[in-house]
Chain A
Amino acid sequence: MPLEPSTLTQDIAHDEPQEYLWTLNFGPQHPATHTTLRIVLKLDGERVVDAMPDIGYLHSGFEKIGEHLDYNQYVTVTDRMNYISPMANNVAWHQAVEKLLGLEVPRRCQYIRTLICELARISDHLLCVGAMGLDTGAFTFFLYAFNRREDIYDIFETLCGARFTNSYTRVGGLMYDITPLVVEKIRQFVRTFPKTLDDMERLLNRNRIFVDRTKGVGLLARQDALGYGTSGPVARASGVTRDLRKDEPYLAYPDFDFRVVCMRTGDCYARYLVRMAEMRESLKIIAQAIENLPPGPVNSPVGERTALPDKAQVFQTIEGTITHFELMMSNRGFQTPCEETYAAIESPNGELGFYVVGDGSDVAWRARCRPPSFVHFAVFPHLIRGHTLSDVVAVLGSLNIIAAELDR
């Protein structure tokens, strides 16, 4: 069945007298917005004639802070941008910094970063589809998703000690190397997760209520997806084949066998299906990465003076002490070129990039984050026009708007 966009467009609404239109304030403290964002809806009965997003309730000046924290410190702030997948943000930030510094991280570090990026993708997609199910009435589905998110949090906790705000990467390496216990936990996750995915798909894919509420809702045509600059699952559900993991291979992605998931319809149901299928592809990458972890160090060599050495090296070797001193003292630190660069990764939500301007010191002159949520939320009025009030939550859920990343 071909899907048609809704006929009630903005033009009709503006041609007629509008006294009968309702104005409804949705948010900023509404449970279905999940986070703090506000939408002013113009309603004709139950139909949304227009939606005006009003954002900025969670603006905390992250980019300004980025101009005052050094390259290792700022990673803690990136955790708080998309707090659903902080690992992906950590990797994106340090990838941009390493591109500015001209660093190549060791092979093992690249593999571990790929691994945690994909775990973060599964965690993010589980939240997105779970919450989308919850908003459209599927509570059990939500519990299935969140149960497995706990497992991923456990893996992250074993890996770096923090469950939520990981701050796991460092310039030129990682906080810790991966341990056999983590490997075992990830292997167990890889073994058991396909069954959860099967269960989830059986619960929702042909669920009458869910399909009726999402199919044909929030249509995004391919042309609009490109024009609005969308990326990630939102764009791929509309037939855009762009995936940075394939188009601009970074980290260890060229080594792995996986497919890019695309759909043509571009409605909420397609975005849900793309996310579900992407989790399976991520699982493939994780399974390949965990079995092929290269040996060797995770950090750049001490002699390069870019990665912070571990404590054993600091206290027991003179090179470690010197490197630690050189990096930590306020008048030393990184030698950055007076240049600027942009590096992006395919984060769970879409293209997450950082535009970093170096000024010679170890603090960025400008640390711009290109947040996928910000770009995706701009599409929202276009998607919701002509649909009913109850579709607002379905569309919001399918876009996976994270307000902390939206407002930064």
Chain B
Amino acid sequence: MAARLETIQSLTSALGPLNTSEFRGDTRVVVPRDRLLSALSILKSERQMDLLVDITCVDYLHYRGAGDRFGLVYLLGSSETAERLTLRVFVNEPDLTVPSAVGLYEAANWLEREIWDMFGIRFAGHPDHRRILLPEPFTAHPLRKDYPLQGRGERHNFPVLSRNQG
């Protein structure tokens, strides 16, 4: 509890007042998009948050009481103190660009590529900004809520390779 307060204190003293909440022991801090990298570097240098456990994204299209379209989730952990913190960043269309965290955490590389692949959120400054799970010519971002679960699929968008061409 004390460690949690100190962590929030070190963030707010550098970045100004932040929206924090707690649910079942998880501490969540909402940071503005342009302050994300400074928040991450403060946590890494001052609070020994040396592990980027996961980056994920939630699409809040038609979610009850949601004001923003996409919410990015940065799950941070510490190998020293076993403390955890969740950073939230909200982004809206049309500007779906977030600064990339690869410079601070190498783990962000593939995780950000997956989010680009599945949600279509761009990461500015990413060294290898390609799709990761889906093929490069794929046009959609399937984990968005407006992408259907069932349908014809995307096969018709791809050329058919015959044995001679292959």
Contacts and interface: CB of A to CB of B under 8 A. Distances in A.
Q: State yes or no: do A and B come from one complex.
A: yes
B26 interface: yes
Given A64-B143, A374-B110, A378-B109, A56 B54 contact: no
A55 B132 contact: yes
Interface stretch (B6-14, B56-64, B155-163): B56-64
B79 A242 contact: yes
Interface in A321-345: 338-342, 344
B64 A229 contact: no
Interface residues of B, number: 38
B82 A242 contact: yes
A127 B134 CA distance: 28
B106 interface: yes
Given A59-B133, A341-B24, A360 B64 contact: yes
Interface in A39-79: 55-56, 59, 61, 63-65, 67-68
A248 B77 CA distance: 11
Given A227-B107, A248-B82, A378-B107, A63 B24 contact: no
Nearest to A229: B107
A277 to B, nearest CB: 20
Given A64-B142, A242-B79, A247-B82, A227 B26 contact: no
A338 B64 contact: yes
Contacts of A102: 24
Contact of B132 (A56, A231, A375): A56
A229 B52 contact: yes
Given A226-B50, A229-B51, A359 B64 contact: yes
A391 interface: no
B5 interface: no
Nearest to B86: A342
A359 B54 contact: no
Contacts of B131: 56
B64 A375 contact: no
Contacts of A368: 54, 56, 58, 73
Interface in B43-59: 50-54, 56, 58-59
Contacts of B16: none
A241 interface: yes
Contact of A366 (B58, B77, B114, B133): B58
Interface string A225-242: 011110100000000111
Given A63-B143, A227-B106, A341-B23, A407 B53 contact: no
A69 to B, nearest CB: 10
B96 interface: no
A56 B23 contact: no
Given A56-B134, A341-B23, A61 B56 contact: no
A-B complex: 6 closest residue pairs judged by Cβ atoms: A229-B107, A56-B133, A247-B82, A378-B110, A370-B54, A227-B106
